[in-house]
Amino acid sequence: MTEQTYLTLNDGNKIPQFGLWVWQVESDAATYSVEDGPQGRIPTHRHRGSLQERRGRRRGYPRGGSRSTRPLRDDKALERAAGLWRNAHCLGRSLDRLQLEYVDLFLIHWPSPHRGLYVDSWRALVELQKNGKARSIGVSNFEPEHLARIIDATGVTPAINQIELHPRFQQRRLRDYNRDLGILTQSWSPLGQGQLLTDATIETIAQKHGKTAAQVIIRWHVENGLVVIPKSVNANRIAENFDVFDFALDAEDMSRLEKLDSTEGRIGPNPLTATF
Ligand code: A2P
């Protein structure tokens, strides 16, 4: 198994291109994922300060190999509090649970434009980074209009925009927009929540390279300069998913994969219309 690659964020920090998605993974399975990542080198990108991550740490999982990412999701109770307090409180609770002084990356989970809070939330994240509680700050599911507003309001550009992205929903326009602003794009549901694993085109490319469909898809993300965070609770599949740094897709493969893009490909909520 070869070493994975790192990308440099617009704040100078580095991020591994491959990480584990552990939101919605049951506690015990997540502990297992965190501890059993190949040689402890797979970073976790999780949504909640969690008992299982603390357990992983107690058992010696090294800080240096981990990236703790915390998306923030406004809920009704928190909405009543002021922006900075709310975000600091939310992050503070996560840090307590993780027994950490800071997180590597803190994200706003959804813009939820109907709430009218995301600009204030972003101001708060800027403060938290200044206070050393988050080394990097970014957003998730932000469309160009949301990005433009927070940058205009603060002068600070997010390091990352984490969005739904897979070969059936390639988000080229938003990727280009991110890239032009110096924002790295991170792909959530990179395997299309597993739905792409039986796609005939992908299977054919996989056979050609002696790889699995999952590895071809993850390699496609890597070659597109994306940060990719597939979810799996199975140790063998986690190792398989990580084992993508010893082969390359050629131009013909890439062109066939590009053709899988579909306007109907979105699986998750649309950030412009989601009502949470
Ligand atoms: P499991 O957790 O049982 O391994 P996504 O990351 O796009 O959301 O996709 C996650 C889904 O894909 C999960 O159902 C996961 O199942 C499945 N999955 C992840 N990696 C693999 C793999 N290498 N082979 C088959 N299924 C996989």
The verdict on the CB of residue 191 being under 6 Å from ligand 1 is: yes
User: What percent of the chain lies above the pLDDT cut of 70?
Assistant: 75
C-beta separation of 214 from 240 below 8 A: yes
Q: What confidence tier does 4 reach under pLDDT thresholds 50, 70, 90?
A: confident
Atom 23 (ligand 1): residue with closest C-alpha?
237
Q: What is the pLDDT of residues 251-266, one digit of tens each?
A: 999 999 999 999 999 9
Domain boundaries, the chain: 6-258
Residue 82 phi, psi dihedral angles, 5° rounding: -70, 155
The atom number, within ligand 1, closest to the CA of 240 reads: 23
SS3 98: helix
- Mean pLDDT, residues 100-108 taken together: 90
- One-letter identity of residue 255: S
Q: Bridge-partner residues for 140, per DSSP?
A: 162
Average pLDDT over residues 26-52: 47
Q: Domain 6-258 carries which CATH code?
A: 3.20.20.100
Shortest-distance Cα residue to atom 22 of ligand 1? 237
Residue with CA nearest ligand 1 atom 1: 232
**Whole-prediction pTM value?**
0.84
Pocket test for ligand 1, best of 21, 169, 191 (most atoms within 8 A of CB): 191
Which atom of ligand 1 has the smallest separation from the CA of 189? 7
